[in-house]
Amino acid sequence: MKPATLLTTLLLTCSTSTSTTLAATLPNSPTITLKRPSRVLQNRAAAAAADPESTLAGAILTLPPLLSTNTSTSNVSATTTTVRGTFRIPRAEPPNSGPTGNNPVGKYGAAFWIGLRPLPAAECSTSNTTTAAAPTTKSLTPILRAGVDIVWDGTLDGQQTPFAWRDFAGSGGDRGGLEGWSALRVSAGDVVRVTLSVQIQQGIEAEAAVVMENFGPTEPELEDGEGVPLQKVEATKALPGWGAAGCAQAAWVVEDFPLPGRPEFPIALANFTSVSFDQAAVQLGDGTVRNVTGAGVEVLDIRLDAQGGRLTRCELLEARGGLTCRRVVGDA
């Protein structure tokens, strides 16, 4: 599967059971209801698909197999793969232009997350291409991931409702599989660090760990290895079968997530201005570090005709070893 296809699956699958399960598992998450077709729905039929539509933006880095083999003894050894990334939670605002812009009673949202996904061997050789169908969450399933959603609600005078979550890839990409953190509160402006680790033993069984740290409104940007978090939460879970992966992909993502109960309709993407993923890197089982700006990475943007075409402009930051995505409307 191609990195673009990978990201595409992840998004669509996340939305199917949001309306029923998300509210129960995420006590801090906003309730988003669709009273009447929004501007997104009204414009969808007339949209022309000049470019493949995508609900995911960011970067996908193709990695070697999660499990290493000792070539001298032909024994399979336990390995740990770790994916990290740090970002400042943006404020959600209505877009200033475009088909969904300036709706005072509208609801706008965006998700920012980091993920790790195993790939079958047959898909590894073709995963790093740009010719696949446009990426969604469903195309990235199964995936281990964690991040933050932001929502602006015009019916509540522009209330900001960010919340942090994790997903252990057990829901088939369904957004209903997300679990909120009862002991972690986040706000716009907070610096959050996500660390995902997968340890594989005996070629099949894997133990996954998700760590999220909130450093508050740290200034300047948090440096790698520095700072004491105000809050830190961790969860672990077994992931059967991950050791059989032919290779893996790490992802740093901005997502236009689906409306609850309407997986075919993404929420109107919020104006988040820009977001940067810093210290975006992977440490492999042999100790090698792969940076998001290195070889094997693919950069993606959200494209939705009903919302104005191209909605993000993402680029790699070579000097900082990271990635930045800006909110835009169209290619201009």
More confident: 189 or 122: 189
b or e along 160-178 (b: 16 or more beta carbons within 10 Å of the residue's beta carbon)? bbbbbbbbbbebebbbbbb
Residue 205 confidence (pLDDT): 75
Domain residue spans in the chain? 3-327
What is the rounded average pLDDT for all residues in the chain?
78
Distance CA 120, CA 242 (A): 10
- Residue 265's CB is within 10 A of a number of other CB atoms, namely 17
Higher pLDDT, 155 or 49: 155
Confidence band, pLDDT 50/70/90 cuts, at residue 107? very high
| CA pair distance 260, 282, nearest whole angstrom | 32
Predicted confidence (pLDDT) per residue in 157-181, tens digit: 999 889 999 998 754 445 667 899 9
Model confidence over 227-251: pLDDT tens digits?
Answer: 789 999 999 998 877 777 778 899 9
